[in-house]
Structure 1
């Protein structure tokens, strides 16, 4: 049997680890896990299970091109949140008196372009490029959404790919994941205790409209596998289920045996509460109604 190679960017992260796990169980596949630090514990754990761990850094030009060499499939993703937490970016934002999210998205777009460049350099031997991205909320909203930067950044990489590398684009499938179920731990998603002992989630969006939700650790791999099994040019909006915030609160209440309700918060109040990231996160929630339309197309 001919063995194919899938190279997975971010093999120790939420999405990448799911793809690695899925393809480890697939006959005829060799998994190449790409990580910045092959010596860390999570990298060694994959190596002990037969994953070919290779060093690759999206901040180092050329390193990903080498890491992709000989692969039949590349799964690529970038991480906005890691840049928000990067001490160098935090320091640069202060020095330039700029919002940190603007610098973070600029860095992510640089990385995403290097990812695309590296895949394009190997296009002749590549069967499929699966790119984890986010929706074009500017386009879907007809420019009503202007500051959803982490979405714009990821979609900017898609436009870069389409414009610069048509041959690679012909071998590309896009994976657009829904809201991570684990985000309930993020402060603005977390149910907050009220004086009467109940809990409440307050966000600037409807509690009745459904949105796509996903467990990235469990679901990304099977979705990437599905894209590899069908023709290139097939794009997937990945959702484990569609759920509203009112329904989400009912589930949370049933599991904790504590009442939780949803409150639609005024956008201005939310922005003031969130600080520097408020405008972007508010735009993200406002964009949800356009993403729901896309899920139904």
Structure 2
């Protein structure tokens, strides 16, 4: 079966000698690499190959590139473009952890951020960690939500990812252990079809310190992926998921293309596809989109 190894680097960071070195390394193991196809000159290229398993090709590429800031992924050439995008929000579609930023207005950012870090690395039960952190914010005026939203930044490439996949017929949704106050605004801003997340309970203009039930956790993210795929009559192989935390891992591993984006160590170690050096446009290059096809968002 023909396969494709895609390499993506910061603009101008990928050169012909890199591809030549990689072709030589693949040939040394008995693979038959084809002619490189530049998706974006100096930034992204496809290298077709046969005669080697995808995981072996990625291992060879990482050794050949010797730690260069290049993200890469190998997969069958057929079926690369996905019809469902399901994305985490915090530290994925937006650059921050919105709950941590919200906690700053209660003077608790460092304390809550440490719990977040441990939860996202799989050291704490997600549900318990969420309930604990929200409980610490009881009495915080809802004005803090608006102020946090005003400071929230979209991750580079997120708008292009959603706009391009949506224009090509994909269903795009956010699934987050965060909160509807933020996911709804992010979905509206970037053009996601839907968003699924948790609800912060409010009374008399202040947070109650409670989260609405049911709580959306790791299992719920995977369930959302399977439900949406079934509703759209898609096999999981036609889906793309992306996230950074331990609560994203199940959906990352279940998707046809599951990407750990600048992820926590436990997630990066377990995911086949990783983006460590570039932005979310890499997910489009992994699907074979050319620079000229990518919309600005």
* TM-score relative to the length of structure 2: 0.28
Q: TM-score, normalised by structure 1?
A: 0.28
Larger helix proportion of the pair: 1
